[in-house]
Amino acid sequence: MSQFDILVFAGGSGSGQSKAIGEVGLGNVRKFVKNGGSYLGICAGAYLACSNYPWSLGLMNAKTRSTKWMRGGGAVALELTANGQKIFGDVKQTFPVRYNNGPIIEPDNKPDAPPYTVIAYFRNELAEHNTPVGLMKDTPAAMCSQYGKGRVLTISPHFEGTKNAENFLPTALAWLGDKTIPMPDSH
């Protein structure tokens, strides 16, 4: 992977992605990021970056709030934090983004996984298919962390599938690839 700067794990199944690359692949991804590469995880890729599954990468100290992941699909409201505005630009109002069963995150208790910085919050909730209500609103929708020398950015919803949010992923990739731009504050 030495010819790459950024690995992108997109939507699908986090456990399926893990199974597809196997233990050797998981180790190679961890080593790539630890040595200075960057990781972008979108939806399933965000699940994969978590630390609470036996199949996950542990790139950030994050776990899912519920095992009932099938929350449904539709538009949800997001709001960037001040740190998120440093990465994505001066967007102060909430805006709709397409959501499709992405992870609902909270801190895990793994001391060997780095803490994350929230860069966007969910400001409402989608809870279909008998999933628990009250777990999504005001939780992290996007986060970043430093893993070794590398950067990690995870996004639960789908900017790439949202009208008027097309610039978010290229901006995320630019931030991940330019190590001269500082990491956001961790609080």
Q: Render pLDDT for 98-151 as a digit per residue (tens, 0 to 9).
A: 999 999 999 999 989 999 999 999 999 988 888 888 899 999 999 999 999 999
H or E stretch covering 43: none
Q: Render pLDDT for 12-70 as a digit per residue (tens, 0 to 9).
A: 999 999 999 999 999 999 999 999 999 999 999 999 999 999 999 999 999 998 888 88
Cα separations (Å) of 107 from 25, 32, 48, 52, 179? 25, 24, 15, 10, 25
All structural domains of the chain with their residue ranges: 6-177
Cα separations (Å) of 78 from 4, 104, 110, 168? 30, 13, 27, 13
Q: Note the CATH architecture for domain 6-177.
A: 3-Layer(aba) Sandwich (3.40)
- The pTM assigned to this predicted structure is 0.94
At 187 the pLDDT is 47
Distance CA 57, CA 59 (A): 6
Band (1; pLDDT cuts 50, 70, 90): confident
Q: Strand, coil or helix: what is 19?
A: helix
Q: Render pLDDT for 77-93 as a digit per residue (tens, 0 to 9).
A: 999 999 999 999 888 89
Give residue for tokens 């190590």.
179
